[in-house]
Structure 1
Amino acid sequence: MQEPVLKAEDLVVRYGGRRGGTTVIDGVSFDLYAGETLSLVGESGSGKTTIGRAVLGLAPVTGGTVSFRGETVSNVPRARRRRFARDIQVVFQDPYSSLNPSMTVASILVEPLAAAGISDGAKRVRDLLDAVGLPADSGQRYPREFSGGQRQRIAIARALALDPSVIVCDEPTSALDVTTQAKVLKLLQDLQRETGVAYLFISHDLGVVNSVSDRIAVLHQGRIVEIGAAREVATNPQHPYTRRLQMAAPVADPEKQRRRRAKRLELEAASAG
């Protein structure tokens, strides 16, 4: 049986102390397998981004564990954490703020390679730019010279630089227009087929995750309320919160949207009663 590449077990994240404070993540468990996309979806404040930050070592884990290929990566010393930097990368929501505006694209892509002691960075930069569909001369330009979608491609190239096993995609398309969003999602799927990378995909938009996910975990108030195959969650949601998310997802047909909105109000009224 295939072992998960990334695993969270009874994960708890609490701010303000172990005994008091605010619990943001409360006993979350999931497995992520090689070549798979597991999406964490929920409204703002549901805890999905905090889970991504805990996986990356950017948020303290109060309870439970996060492990990579069976080795604990949560709450480990910084020197030991750096060992996992090659294997677990991230693409953030806003590519402009995550890319150093004073560095050329080539310098941005070479930086993680140099830190890992990888030589022949120039060839790797050309390969990365080609992989994400950017011209070869992009390396000599600065992030400000690119569109939002192109900047996100640069961020994806940087995440791919060290051939990671897992990429945390934290709302990677929410700052893009619909057309550009579709192109970036297709790029992520194409790269996954080519490399076998696993995505922990974080989004508030159930419509987006329905199209890219193998499995979906629905978060509500810091807990997973439903997890399953993407098709099952999309077509036959079991939890009332998941059904509300489905009904809130935008659709192109105004009449269908109107019926969804009416049904959502009906469900909310029934819950309140």
Structure 2
Amino acid sequence: MDESGSASTAEAGLEVRDLRVAYGRRRGRAEVVKGVSFGIAPGETLGLVGESGSGKTTIGRALLGLVPVTGGSITFRGHDITRLPRSRRRAVARDIQVVFQDPYSSLNPSMTIEDILVEPLRVAGVADGRSRVRELLRQVGLPDDAGTRYPSEFSGGQRQRIAIARAVAQRPGLVICDEPTSALDLTTQARALGLLRRIQRETGAAYLFISHDLGVVREVSDRIAVLHEGAIVEMGDSEQVSLRPSHPYTRRLQLATPVPDPDVQARRRQRRRELLKADA
């Protein structure tokens, strides 16, 4: 692994080099991702953490091909997907899937769960999609008859399980988890994180876990990259970054993570205010 924290292409499922994304026309152009580099090996989880507006979701969208890349490269399984012809890019993109933040809006309310899960399998040319759907429902802990029901008949946690099933339906090499637990209560959040970890152990997929919450990222990540104003300011082992951060911005994120003890929480809030004043 090099000093940027990026694994070599030979071992990585994903390698991002000097990624840049800008919005707007030439005169009013704003660069929102500024030379970001990282790698994720198969079976590894990289947590990408930062506050709203830091550029983390834009990076996820760039990996999915949903925003134009203005510089750098995204290499996945040996293919630079930023330079592939559109026809080949679609084939590679099927091996990169996403779990969105909101389990309520990410599922089509007019489709049954079976139809929601069969659709990507049909596009991929899977012959026995219905059998695969039953397998997926069991994998995420839902009964077989869940396939005949509609999203409105499920709780938020169950809907996120369905969203996870859809993301892993084609056995992708990379899953982008974009704030997948922020809309869930703490108990349901813990179950969803446990499910993601179990599926990763079973499939060997790489995860990019995007969140604003350093505490949540620490729970699921092998390594953490801290994003601030479009640039990575700190990267390293999950425990090291979350418990012994070296960058002032990471320390602010650490102090923003809630703890159950009200006295400790009050001291953390005060310390965070002091850091914010010092940076102003």
Using the size of structure 2 for normalisation, the TM-score is 0.94
TM-fit CA distance, 1:20: 4.5
Q: Is 1:11 matched with 2:19?
A: yes
Matched residue pairs, number? 272
TM-fit CA distance, 1:209: 0.4
Q: What whole-Å deviation, never above 9, does each CA across 1:7-53 have from its counterpart, x for those lacking one?
A: 11000000013664111000000001100110110000000000000
Aligned partner of 2:238 in structure 1 is 230
Aligned partner of 2:57 in structure 1 is 49
State the distance in 2 between where 1:45 and 1:113 align: 34
Matches within 5 A, 1:91-170: 91-170=99-178
Matches within 5 A, 1:169-208: 169-208=177-216
Query: Aligned-pair RMSD on alpha carbons?
Result: 1.3
Q: Is the 8 A contact 1:173 1:184 kept in 2?
A: yes
Gaps of 5+ in 1: none
Aligned partner (choices 91, 94, 119) of residue 86 of structure 1: 94
Q: What whole-Å deviation, never above 9, does each CA across 1:60-103 have from its counterpart, x for those lacking one?
A: 10111111012111254432221113310000001221111111
Aligned partner of 1:36 in structure 2 is 44
Q: What whole-Å deviation, never above 9, does each CA across 1:89-144 have from its counterpart, x for those lacking one?
A: 00000122111111110011111111111111111001000000011100000111
Q: Is the 8 A contact 1:54 1:74 kept in 2?
A: no
Aligned partner (choices 226, 239, 256) of residue 264 of structure 2: 256
Q: What whole-Å deviation, never above 9, does each CA across 1:195-233 have from its counterpart, x for those lacking one?
A: 111110000001100111100000000000000000110
Gaps of 5+ in 2: 1-7
Q: Is the 8 A contact 1:103 1:142 kept in 2?
A: yes
State the distance in 2 between where 1:53 and 1:75 align: 16
Q: Is 1:26 matched with 2:26?
A: no
**Percent identity (aligned):** 67
Aligned partner of 1:209 in structure 2 is 217
Moved over 6 A (4+): none
* Residue type of the alignment partner of 1:101: P
Using the size of structure 1 for normalisation, the TM-score is 0.96
State the distance in 1 between where 2:275 and 2:93 align: 44
Q: Is the 8 A contact 1:18 1:62 kept in 2?
A: no
State the distance in 1 between where 2:93 and 2:114 align: 20
